[in-house]
A = this chain, B = another copy of it.
């Protein structure tokens, strides 16, 4: 599978979103920022996971489109508010919502998106599905707030342990991928146990996905990512790589890693070069690979437990492979 094989899902999603006609709502100042952030695109991984999970059980994936949209609108709400908190100037190559429309609009339009995500979540669900859908959605949403808070807490800490890091990325990133698969299954009428397995699969895949993301920042193809190599290193982010290097390094390397976090930005290129050398000397790449494989296997195991033909599961396996081998 290549990303272009997902075009039919992406196109169907964009068509559904276009028909929502968000710009027709009043007052425009509230809804234009929503139109803007949603128009910046992205691969629509979460909606696609939702639609593919639906197709494990039923054919017409358009039935799961409201839930796919709910999750994508929710995801974009988190981007809008996180970008305010991180004072991020750009997102997906464009200026962020708060830079374009002001912080107040970004706060308020983000709030409106969170509410809209609840509205779409319930569209087309049977009465007996609503409670579970609501419960899973709110629990996940609150966990994502927890993840963002933990991430902000990390900025003030000199040291973070691996379990703390894993908890943070589970909340901030992985649980929403779990919800995406679970919600697709739920809409298709899967039983509670199957929905839970889909959730487990997505969470584990999300952990692997985030660790791969950390890896790409240090070792990815910068021509393809379009990002500066070592952005996380420059920002002193407590990534899986940095924490693992700190754990494995002797006293001398530990001190050096800490010292680099205190260097002024002027030394950025020296800092990135030297921290990458440390990573290489400790085979951090291998440790990333190992951890990523562990989580990927957990995801595969969960999916294998679901009582559906392997043929139907193939697209999800393919998408996972694609996401976890991507070089950008």
| A137 to chain B: closest residue by CB | B118
> Chain B residues with Cβ under 8 A from A128's Cβ?
127
| A85 to chain B: closest residue by CB | B104
The reply to whether the CB of A81 lies closer than 8 angstroms to some CB of chain B is: yes
Check A138–B111 contact: CB distance below 8 A: no
Check B145–A119 contact: CB distance below 8 A: no
Q: Give the complex CA separation of A148 and B130 in angstroms.
A: 30
Instruction: Give A210 Cβ to nearest chain B Cβ, in Å.
Output: 19
Residues A108 and B81 in contact in the complex (CB < 8 Å), given A26-B146, A128-B127, A149-B27: yes
Copies of the polypeptide in the assembly: 2
| A152 to chain B: closest residue by CB | B104
> Chain B residues with Cβ under 8 A from A85's Cβ?
104, 107-108
Check B115–A141 contact: CB distance below 8 A: yes
The reply to whether the CB of A153 lies closer than 8 angstroms to some CB of chain B is: yes
The reply to whether the CB of A116 lies closer than 8 angstroms to some CB of chain B is: yes
Q: Give the complex CA separation of A112 and B148 in angstroms.
A: 11
Check B118–A138 contact: CB distance below 8 A: yes
Instruction: Give A15 Cβ to nearest chain B Cβ, in Å.
Output: 24
Interface string of A83-116 (1 = CB under 8 A from B): 0110000000000000000001101101110111
Q: Give the complex CA separation of A85 and B105 in angstroms.
A: 9
A-B contact pairs, 19 of them (CB 8 A): A27-B150, A29-B152, A30-B145, A30-B146, A30-B149, A81-B108, A85-B104, A85-B107, A85-B108, A108-B148, A108-B152, A111-B145, A112-B142, A115-B141, A115-B145, A118-B118, A127-B130, A130-B131, A134-B134
Q: Which 6 A-B pairs have the closest CB atoms?
A: A30-B149, A85-B104, A112-B145, A115-B141, A127-B127, A119-B138
Known: A84-B104, A122-B134, A127-B128. 10 other contacts (CB 8 A): A29-B149, A30-B146, A84-B107, A111-B111, A114-B114, A115-B141, A116-B138, A118-B134, A127-B130, A134-B134
